[in-house]
Chains A and B, each alone.
Chain A
């Protein structure tokens, strides 16, 4: 019968293996889990073809990309117009969040432990030095890109109606970026941190009328100490990022509400 002849005409091992592999691939890509993760339009989904419909699906069906509209003005994708400065600022913020979370695992915000923790991080933790370097340089770079982004927007007249309010939010974000960088400056608790912050907070103490109160609230006392460190740590890792994320969300949302980025000159 057929069972007997089956063994004789079995295809070679290589062919059977490749058939098994393609069947496995089909089974995985045809499964419900796969198709619910890689929604229509995904380039990982089986049978993506480059059509206007699928190009729209890529944006609409992705939680990350749907911040974008499906289509933008042609001039808006020119790198020579935006220099991608706003985007770079956002990427740096994400990079800083990721490296910052890593650093938080190895850091205690007390005057007794802070410096030792940073030193141990640099000398004994795998990639500790690299990640701290990245956090530091990305922070400086972010101040720079925010500043350049503001200059770019000004020179393009992109703050004019209907984008006035988004410019205001942008200035607030610039201030928040400076505060984020400044609060992070104290955390290593070395000579550089201590005296830079001393200079900075002394200046804020000259605020008219309630200068002393401002200084007291910022320092958590009359002098810089372990309370200041805790205060600035919480500001740096939680409060200021929280506020900044809210303002960023409004900033990006308004870009779309105001009709995309400003037109060509």
Chain B
């Protein structure tokens, strides 16, 4: 046997005695409990606020079931009978049922499904392998290209000797090309400024929610024209402009282009 410490055993005995006393008091006089037992079934049904036609139906069902239920109850062992009676008396609903089916709610009406399950893959290895290959490729490409092609380093900067033609870096040659057609403020500030501004505003201007190419022919055409506009200007500025920034053909006058 496990030895129970003295003080714990005493405490347990006290608690047990207290519980027994409370039980005796409850059995001796509990007016509320006896009142409830005397309440008729009709009163209970009225109190439960069940519609009258349903009560009628349940009474009829109970009467029909009563005749049949007598036989199995009699055949059952004696011990089962009081238990069944107790269960029936504790029931609050009609027909001795403790639960009622109020309504059937379909899952779609109460579950708000916001996202459907998607076909997903683990980033490792599926994405990391692709990224690693891309990083490897770009590093290898830059290294090998740099082994064979040297970056230009012309002679020391000389303020007294302006090269002819003087060209901006290639990505600004479109702007420099515009300089031949417009006032410098228009070519160098206004047009590129508007271009950048429109580019930033693109998602707020284009309200078409579809991303399917067939639904956005106008947007795609506009962007293609825009990109081609700059690409052609940069090409002309890079390859077709010679001394004095005059138009030349590279196969006749040679290249005037440094990266």
What is A's interface to B at a CB cutoff of 8 Å?
52, 55-56, 58-59, 65, 68-77, 79, 84, 87-88, 91-92, 95, 111, 115, 118-119, 122, 129-130, 132-138, 140-141, 143, 151, 154-161, 163-164, 167-168, 171, 175, 178, 181-182, 185, 188-196, 198-200, 202-204, 206-208, 211, 262-263, 265
Contacts and interface: CB of A to CB of B under 8 A. Distances in A.
5 contacts: A68-B127, A154-B223, A171-B199, A199-B168, A203-B188
B254 interface: no
At the interface, is chain A mostly helix, strand, loop or mixed? Answer: helix
Contacts of B6: none
Nearest to B184: A206
Contact of B184 (A59, A138, A203, A263): A203
A156 B206 CA distance: 13
A89 B170 CA distance: 18
B123 A69 contact: yes
Interface in B28-83: none
Contact of B151 (A137, A154, A189): A137
For B149, B154, B157, B172, which residue has the most chain A Cβ atoms within 10 angstroms? B157
A63 B188 CA distance: 44
Given A91-B134, A190-B153, A190-B155, A200 B119 contact: no
Interface stretch (B8-16, B18-26, B101-109, B207-215): B207-215
B179 interface: yes
A181 B147 CA distance: 21
Given A71-B121, A154-B223, A188 B153 contact: yes
Given A155-B223, A171-B199, A190-B155, A199 B167 contact: yes
A195 B179 contact: no
Interface size on B, as a range, is 35 or more
B156 A190 contact: yes
B203 interface: yes
B154 A191 contact: yes
Contacts of A185: 169
B143 A134 contact: yes
Nearest to B193: A207
Interface of B: 118-128, 130-131, 134-135, 138-139, 142-143, 145-147, 149-159, 161-163, 166-172, 175-176, 179, 183-185, 187-189, 196, 199-200, 202-204, 206, 208-213, 216, 219-220, 223, 227, 258-259
A143 to B, nearest CB: 5
B153 A119 contact: yes
Nearest to A84: B134
B171 to A, nearest CB: 5
A95 B145 CA distance: 14
B126 A77 contact: yes
A90 B49 CA distance: 71
Given A137-B146, A158-B211, A118 B153 contact: yes
A182 B176 CA distance: 14
Given A193-B157, A203-B175, A87 B119 contact: no
Which applies to chain B's interface (DSSP): helix, strand, loop or mixed? helix
Contacts of A211: 185
Given A171-B200, A204-B189, A115 B156 contact: yes
B157 A70 contact: no
B146 A130 contact: yes
A74 B203 contact: no
A167 B204 CA distance: 10
B211 A262 contact: yes
B211 A134 contact: no
A157 B211 contact: yes
A69 B211 CA distance: 24
Given A130-B146, A185-B169, A194-B159, A206 B122 contact: no
B130 A72 contact: no
A180 to B, nearest CB: 11
Q: Ordered nearest first, which 10 A-B pairs have the shortest CB separation?
A: A157-B211, A203-B188, A133-B146, A164-B203, A136-B151, A194-B157, A195-B166, A58-B124, A190-B154, A71-B120
A242 B128 CA distance: 26
Contacts of B171: 143, 178, 181
B124 A65 contact: yes
A157 B167 CA distance: 35
A134 B146 contact: yes
Contact of B134 (A88, A129, A181, A206): A88
